[in-house]
Structure 1
C-alpha cells in the first residue's frame, strides 16, 4: 500500500486545497512523484502507471454525482474518496464514490486510515464484483431507500438496453411501468432481507418495450448502504406462450360450455378432470362435487352396464367408441362418443330418450302394420277366394236348384268371416292411430 500513484482531481483552478492535501499525503508516506493533480475535465484516463486511490476535491458534495460517476466509469477498479468543504446531514454518497472526508478532517492519521480502508474495501469488493459483472444472468444493485442503481452487470445492461453510465443515473422505478410501481413500493418494504423469490413482474427496456421478468432478491450492504441485489430473468417468451395457451384453453372451454352435448374428461386413473354445464344438467350432478373424484365411485351403477365395457375398450385399445345405453338411475337413454387422449378419455353424450322412444314407437307401428298386412293377405284373401269359387258354382239358370240354398249358406258364412277380418283390421288401425 502507498506504493502506487494517487490521482487528485479538482473541480476548479484554486491550488490552496491541493497543496495542503499533497502535503498531508507526503506526511503519510507517498512520494511527490506519485502524486498527479488535474482538473476533472483533463484527468489522464488510462494512465499506464495506474492509481491506487483517487481523491476528488470539491466545494460541495451535493453537485458531484455526474462527475464522480464519470470517474468511476473511467477507473472502475480504483477507489474514489471525495474531499469536500461542506456536506449536509442528509447528503447521500454519490454513486461510484467509496468514501468521503471533510477537508478539515484530513490530518495524517485519519487520512491514512480512510485511504487504507477504501483500498481494502475496493480490492475485496472488486473480486466479488467480477463474479457479479461476468454472471450470465442479468443482475443489478439498487439502494433500498432511494431506489438508485448502484451497480449492474453486463447481462443487465444488455437486457435493458442502457449503457452503464445511463443506468446508474436512473432508479429501479425507471425500469418499471407506472402500473407496477405501487406493488413495487410495497414489496420493496415487505420482502425478507434474505433470499426471496419476488415472483413475475413487468419491466421496461430503454426503447419502451415492456417484457416479463422473474425477480429474485437478496438484501445486502453495498458501498455502506442497505441495498437490494436483484437477479431479473427475462421470461417474456415463456410467459407470453403460456398466456397464449391459457387464452386458447379459455376459448376451448367457452366452446365446451356452450355446446349442447354433455362433455367430460377423465385421466388414466378414471378421475374427473373437466365437466361442462350440460353434463351437470343431464346427469343432475355438479362439477364441484365430482372434479377429482373417480368415475366408477361417483356412478357405481355404470359398472354393470355397457358404459364400463365401452369406456375401458376406448382407454385400453386407444380407439374411439360410439354406443347407446339406458341409465336406470336417470331413467334415460344416453348416446355416447368416447375418444382417447394423451391423458385419458374425452367423452361426449346426449340424452336421446325422446328419440329412442320415438324410434320404439315407429318400430311398434311397423309391427302393427305388418299385422294388418298379414290380416289383409291371409284372413281376407282366403274368404274372398272362397266367395269367388261359390259364385261360380251358383246355378243362375235354375235359381230354385236345391244346391243353390247350400251355396247361399256357404256364401253367408264366408261373408261373416270377411266381416270379422274387416273388424280386426279396423281395430288394429285404430290402435295404431292411438
Structure 2
C-alpha cells in the first residue's frame, strides 16, 4: 500500500505483491535448503577473496579450523600455522587466482588420525571474467587412497615375483638340468659322480633359497 497527499486529501494505492512475496519465500527456502546441504556434509567447503579473507565456509570447515588452531575462530591469524604450511596453501591459492582449476591429494593429521584428502581449487569469476576469489572443496579419500596404495604395493610385489621366477628360478632349474646328464648312471662308483652330486646339491640349495624368497613376498 502506498499513501500520497493530494489537494482533496490523500490518495491510497494498493499493489498486489502476492507473487513477489511467493518468490521471496521461495528464494529464502532455497537458501535454507542449500545451507542445510552444505552444513550437513562432512566435506570441507570454503571460499576466499583476493585478500585471502574467507567469503564463506561450511560447519565442517570451521570445525576443522577449531581442531587445528585450538580455538573457536571464523578468521585465521598468521600464527595459526607454521611457515611451511602457510607457504604451501598460499601457492595453491596463487595458482587458482591465476585462473587455474586443479585438484590434488594432500596428507594431513587430524587429531591423532592420518587422513588423505582430495582438494579442488576453482577460480571465482565476476561478470567481466576476472578472478575475484577461489572456491575450495576437500573430500576425505583416506580409505580409497590406502586401498589404492595397497594394490600398487601388491602389484609391485607381483612384478618382483615374476622377475624372480623368470630369471633366478629358471637359472637354478637350468643348472640342475644341466648337471643331471653329467652323472654317470652306468658306473655309479665313478669318482666324478661325487663332484657332480656336489654341484647338484649346491644348485638345489640355490633353488630352495629362490623359493624361500618368493614365499617371503
Which band: TM-score by shorter chain? 0.7 to 0.9
Report the structure number with the largest CA radius of gyration: 1
Aligned-residue CA RMSD in angstroms? Answer: 3.3
Residue 278 of structure 1: how far off its partner (Å): 2.7
- Within a 5 Å distance, the mapping from 1:247-396 to structure 2 comes to 247-283=29-65, 284=67, 289-291=72-74, 293-294=75-76, 298-300=80-82, 302-305=85-88, 307-317=89-99, 319-327=100-108, 331-341=114-124, 342=126, 343-396=132-185
Inter-CA distance 325–278: structure 2 relative to 1 (3 Å threshold): same
What SS does the aligned partner of 1:325 have?
Answer: strand
Point out which structure has higher relative CO (alpha carbons under 8 A, 6+ apart).
2
Contact 1:272–1:295 (8 Å) recurs in 2: no
CA distance in 2, matches of 1:383, 1:241: 83
Q: Deviations over 1:34-88 (max 9, x none)?
A: xxxxxxxxxxxxxxxxxxxxxxxxxxxxxxxxxxxxxxxxxxxxxxxxxxxxxxx
Structure 2 partner of 1:199: none
- Within a 5 Å distance, the mapping from 1:55-66 to structure 2 comes to none
Structure 2 partner of 1:78: none
Residue 401 of structure 1: how far off its partner (Å): 2.4
Structure 2 partner of 1:224: none
Structure 2 partner of 1:151: 9
* TM-score, structure 2 normalization: 0.75
Alignment size in residue pairs = 204
Contact 1:290–1:298 (8 Å) recurs in 2: no
Contact 1:257–1:278 (8 Å) recurs in 2: yes
Q: Structure 2: which 5+ residue stretches go unaligned?
A: 127-131
